[in-house]
Structure 1
Amino acid sequence: MTRLSFLDLVPVVEGGSVGRALANAADLAAHAEALGFHRYWVAEHHGMSGIASAATAVVIAHVGQATRAIRIGAGGIMLPNHAPLVIAEQFGTLDALFPGRIDLGLGRAPGSDQRVARALRRTLDSDPNDFPRDVLELQAYFAGEGPIRATPGAGASPEMWILGSSLFGAQLAAALGLPFAFASHFAPDALDMALHLYRRDFRPSATLAQPHAMAGFNVFAAETDAEAELLASSQQQAFVALRTGNPRQLPPPVEGYRDSLGDQGRAILDHVLQCSAVGSPATVARGLAAFVERTGVDEVMVASAIYDHEARKRSLAITAGVFEELKLAA
């Protein structure tokens, strides 16, 4: 049975603050838990004024205090930015605070540029292709077999995932026998091939007996298609700004924004955000059902950035209700 989870980039809205974004994250996590979402993830980004989850482990602890049972974690930690020992200690601490609830999704993209890499005090000679070695080192710390004993860390059991937006992550997750999450909510091109390779090449491990795949999917839900299209315009604006090298805080929605871009701009958004459902409950139901049928994923990780917090909570409630109806109809 396919499960429903939620990815929150903890957006900082124009006219808002980091403090308000973090308060909203805790409220949204509790809301997702009440709605029956399986996981709530935040992701590591640096140097971006519109995202408040840079200190990812701290944010996870914050939302952990606001929830009781929902799985919480990172989707993900960009491992090239960190010594594996540091991540073992951070997530060993989280596992001790919230036992049986912590997820550790690992990505190999830096999530930053060279200026940020220098500010993070990582050597600029580090190679993202060292990622598989770093994952194995991190596993060794949790198993109590690292170069030194990680405390906290040794004996901890966060659920480790490999994340990806290309074929590399799928191949690594298959080789290590780990669950795999694909970032189709913003990088959809290799989705089908990545899932195929992961399932075909999967090697059972002590962690996982058979492949377990998740894929990202944008949902902007409201009572009507027109209202949902308006809500989605905030993320569309932020995405265009990011792709043109001008990242910004999440702007208010703009009526007719997509049409104002012209054919080329609309084509870019439609391509990059093709794994999306924007609309009324009926529209979202059709989009979610088609995505699950196409991918056969074990979990759908819903993503959305909506300027108004209450409208965002309403979107999540509609999504959860639609998903439950789809399960009952299956």
Structure 2
Amino acid sequence: MSTMFEQMAKSPAVWLSGEGNESLVVLSTRVRLARNVAGCKFPSSANIDTRKRIISYIDSTVARSTMLADGMYLKASDINSLDKDFLIERHLISPSFLNGELAKSLYINNDERISIMVNEEDHLRIQSLAPGLDPEGAFQLAKQFDNEIGKYLEYSYDADFGFLTACPTNAGTGMRTSVLIHLPGLVLTREIEKVISHITRTGLVVRGFYGEGSDVLGNLFQISNQNTLGITEEEIINQIKKITYEIIEKEAASRDRLMNEAADMIEDKIWRAYGILKHARVLSSEEVMNLLSAVRLGHAMKIIQFLDTSLINEILLFSQPAHLQKYYSHEMDPNRRDFVRAQMVREKLREVEQK
């Protein structure tokens, strides 16, 4: 089994620390900047020599930059299937990044707040992650790395259209901002579809746990902007924050309604979920995510007071299939993973109860 990312697999991701604004509802914020090198075709239309030339430009940039020295730089061909899944689970790469031709590379800084995909849909996808609701902080960090790379490479930029991108919907700022938000109250009161419809009408988009094309798991939704052209970075940030605070208010109202109308049933659902996690001998990753959703709700509503958000997030991440295998340093078939996952969850909960 590959030992790549072994140390990373033993520690929770910084963006899931449980810190930051509104962390009881918003798990994390992501800002992604799409950039392309001037004079080179976009990856989808470029030949292999052009894509390799882009890699060589980034090789040189990483070697010369003191800022980029604080991180890990990898060629896609050195990343195996399990490591790919691990990076997807950690939200450091897109699910499609390592598909197809592997004239690609990846940069991850030491605290995992920044990852840069080279030759994905665009030459560069600079991604910043922050715990809680913090689009300003995530953008400022992404912009630092954007500016640093811009010292060594000329970006494809037009005075009228801004940053030019492979997909026209990303042109302009080239910026996508998203929040990962937990909305069990709206799901249980069956108001979620109405809220999603409202979000969509404002020009934002709602996706699943792993972003575009993924399913909603554990009542976790990604909300992001669609428009990047004719709008500034500050306006994108303000739009995301405004809508997120509106959703937080609606979620709070749904939780109040649940407690007013069905308190016993909600408390039973929460404690039942905790009891299964604490005692189960076999658990799938999807089951853990759904049970943790109820436990996270119980923690936020002060029904379960001895857990903290960081532990809930840690179990969420470590129970994912690739993380579980990296954590225990050996590959497992699905049946074995379900057994070991339940064991890991019991151990994590036992540790906190013994404190």
Q: Under TM normalisation by the shorter chain, which class is it?
A: under 0.3
Instruction: Point out the structure with max Rg over C-alpha.
Output: 2
Q: Looking at both structures, which has the greater relative contact order when contacts are Cα pairs under 8 Å and sequence separation is at least 6?
A: 2
Q: TM-score, normalised by structure 2?
A: 0.26
